[in-house]
Amino acid sequence: MKNIDEIAVLLIEQRKKLSIEQKDMYMRIGMKQQQYQRIEAGSDLKLSTLLRVLEGLDLELSIVPKGRATSVFPTESAPASSSDLGERKGGLEDDSDDLDFWFSSGDES
């Protein structure tokens, strides 16, 4: 992927493939329809927000060197263990400010 618009198209396609409406993203990832619409419209977003959206759409982020041929959806073969991916035992740690979304009672814009 080379830009935010390509990511937005992929998110839309995956959401539709899973038969999920934008309004249903609140139940999956705690994001209001209006917030999610902005993402699908190509708004810039934090990595932690992208990871949350990807999780809700059963996708994961892969980073590869430029020029390496990749497919949009990876093949079924996966590494034998998370250590093969170079991940720490604790997995991905999200930004702590995202906790405000889950635990605040205020309305976000």
8 Å CB contact between 14 and 58: yes
Which residues, including other chains, have CB under 8 Å from residue 87's CB and lie 6 or more apart? none
Q: List, for residues 20-47, the tens digit of each pLDDT value.
A: 999 999 999 999 999 999 999 999 999 9
Q: 101: helix, coil or strand?
A: helix
Query: pLDDT value at position 26?
Result: 92
Which residues, including other chains, have CB under 8 Å from residue 82's CB and lie 6 or more apart? 89, 91
Residue 80, pLDDT > 60, answer no
Q: 89: helix, coil or strand?
A: coil
Q: Which residue would you say has higher pLDDT here, 68 or 8?
A: 8
Amino acid letter, residue 51 = L
